[in-house]
Amino acid sequence: MWIHAYELEAKNALNSVSKQTARTGFLTRKSNSATDPLNTFLAHSDFMYWPELGDPALKDLYPLLRETATQDLEFPFSLTTADLQPVKSNALISSFQNLGEALEHIQDAKFEVLKFKMGADFKSEFQALMQLNLKSHLVRIDLNNALSFKDSKEALEMLKKIPNLEYVEDPTPYHDHHWSELQKIVPLALDQTATTASTRNAAGSTRSVLAKSNSVGTFWDYRVVKPVRGFSLSQLVNWTYAKKKIVLTNMMDSVVGTWKTYLYYCELKKHIPHHLGTPGFHTHAQYTHLPFQDYLGFKGAQWTFDENKLHALNQGLATLSWMDFDEVDSRHWHDMVKGLR
């Protein structure tokens, strides 16, 4: 396995708990004898570093990064190009400046589902939101656990006034009693990373973390899954039996993470077709510059598979500087990341 570190610069803070615009990420890849673009690309993985959402300190990231990458790279995809159908993403709005102008661009791009990142200053954000005409869109709100239980109750009573509100994601850290009360107000979505963050320090490994996050209570209606961070297919199927819906999103990561989220969506569409909500992987516009952005499949809200773009992306990735992951053990990890923010 090989690794390549990268950095991105966001135009604004990406959510209510992230104040830094500089983001660190890591690409990984494994040896692969495939010659076709699809299987060549599937030998790549992406890890956007999110200390605000529970990732350990950068100096301690090595074990989690390696295990997460291994899970992604070993996922048994069964895709063929016939499975790669067009799909629309939700639009992501993380800044409340010039909202009216942003909504015009969103309408031009034919987005049907809007996701607003809120919680930094909820009441002023809500006032700005209510000035918009949202009747023609399905609306998602993500609070990133920014509110206390008491404040979240008040916030949800306000948010339920939004026409076509699909769900509110992570209003407050998950607790059975709290969420059982909040679920009576609006539909709720629980983010996979929100549950792993609260258990990671005690769990000690990605697999045990995922086991604990998968066993969390059921007072939610939608589960937001970041597939490159690992998941259990059997657990997803169990959630569908309980009439839960699954929403796949990327980690606001590089072009590799965006492509991978699309491919996971197409894979899971074969297994749980009626339980997948509109995915969220249109995040490249959040950054000032995204390497290989021209090789994304988006035209407006819709992603369409283009084998030529995937081939070009594979060629671009091959030109990056890659370090042998087996030589980057915990003793040398500090030397590798010391130049990163």
Q: Say whether both 125 and 159 belong to one domain.
A: yes
Q: In what order do the strands lie in the sheet containing 44-48? A: 44-48, 22-29, 2-9, 323-324
Residue 33 sits in the same domain as residue 112? no
Are 30 and 134 within one domain? no
What's the rounded Cα separation, in Å, for the pair 269 and 215?
23
Helices 206-214 & 62-73 angle (0-180, nearest 10) = 70
Q: What does the pLDDT profile of the chain (341 residues) look like in tens digits?
A: 999 999 999 998 898 888 888 999 999 999 988 899 999 999 999 999 999 888 999 989 999 999 999 999 999 999 999 999 999 999 999 888 888 888 899 999 999 999 999 999 999 999 999 999 899 999 999 999 999 999 999 999 999 999 899 999 999 999 999 999 999 999 999 998 755 544 444 444 444 444 444 556 889 999 999 999 999 889 999 999 999 999 999 999 999 999 999 999 999 999 999 999 999 999 999 999 999 999 999 999 999 999 999 999 999 999 999 998 877 766 677 777 766 64
Residues 89 and 102 in one domain: yes
* Residue 235 sits in the same domain as residue 212: yes
Residue ranges making up the domain that contains 27: 2-78+314-337
262 and 226 in one domain? yes
Rounded distance between C-alpha atoms, residue 72 and residue 67, angstroms: 9
Measure the CA–CA gap between 101 and 131, rounded to whole angstroms.
12
Q: Do residues 293 and 331 both lie within one domain?
A: no
Contacts of 79 (CB under 8 A, 6+ apart): 38, 263, 266, 267
pTM: 0.93
Rounded Cα distance between 138 and 309, Å, is 30
What are the strands, taking DSSP E only, across the chain?
Answer: 2-9, 22-29, 44-48, 87-88, 91-93, 113-117, 138-142, 165-169, 188-191, 222-225, 245-248, 298-299, 302-303, 323-324
Q: What is the pLDDT of residue 38?
A: 97
Q: How many domains does the chain have?
A: 2
Residue 76 φ/ψ, nearest 5 degrees? -80, 75
117 with 230, same domain? yes
The two most distant CA atoms of the chain are separated, in Å, by: 56
Provide the pLDDT for residue 329: 67
Amino acid residing at 67: E
Q: Are strands 298-299 and 165-169 parallel, antiparallel or unpaired?
A: unpaired
Residue 216: partners with Cβ closer than 8 Å, 6 or more residues away:
174, 190, 195
Q: Do 248 and 332 fall within a single domain?
A: no
Together in a domain, 154 and 256 = yes
